[in-house]
Amino acid sequence: MPLPPAPLDHDALYDAVATAASTLVSYIPDPGDDELAEERGVFGTNERELTHIRSFIPPGRLALDIGAGSGLYTYRIVSKAGRCIGFEPRSNAARVTTQRMEPWSRSLTVLNCAISESDGTATLRVPTKYIGWATMDERNSLESLDDRECETLEVATLVVDRMRLHDVGFVKIDVEGHEGPVLASMVDTIRRCRPRFLIEATNITGGTTVAEIFDFFESMQYRGLRSVDGQFVPTDLEEYLESRAVNAAFVPAESKQPLVLD
């Protein structure tokens, strides 16, 4: 059975991005916010990068959470970057993240749409048993799942470069195989803003390979980092070729070496 349709009004979605970029208020830290975030289910600790991601995010610059899901990373992004625009094609997940993040709503907007290399629509396949593996990349066969029954949803796709965003400092991407088209959508933004990236990728789902991601960032004059013992250290593709799942960070090659984490 198809899921309820997501909004497909591209002009309205681009307008919402522009409004968010110009009106979001920078987050002001409060000593009780981490505890409140834990109570509201957005202070996740089940991925090691979460424990120190805030040291990697540049403060005071706009962040993009592409594939926001149910907000696992969103609170920590907002609490360091100050302002964040999230993109999530699953309408239920976008709504849940918005609700959970309500105390910080002045600093965050979550839009119910996807990012890709062209404006239009795409079919999102949502595994009934593993909704976190939802994908709109046709090359992702979902063959690693023991139950591949899916519901489908037509979602709007936007292009980051068309948003004409300024001073983007951090981008998180978790799109289950669609990393290549997402990165292709923001080449001009990357050249202009030189943001830092954290990307969840895999060698088992199909779609964009880890090697293709590293090749892209090399072409953009970026270098790779990985999480080790609470900090990000230099890495390269060879360290990831045998990995099933990858959380890789990328920073502009012109960044200080060693990278000074804020």
Domain coordinates of the chain in residue numbers?
Answer: 42-252
Q: Tell me the CATH class for 42-252.
A: alpha beta
pLDDT at 9 over 50: yes
For the residues 189-216, what does the mean pLDDT come to? 89
Highest mean pLDDT: which range of 31-40, 46-55, 250-259: 31-40
List, edge to edge, every strand of the sheet that includes 150-158.
Answer: 114-115, 150-158, 120-127
Helical H segments across the chain, by residue range: 10-23, 33-39, 74-81, 91-100, 179-184, 187-193, 210-219
Mean pLDDT of the chain: 86
Split at pLDDT 50, 70, 90, the class of 1 is very low
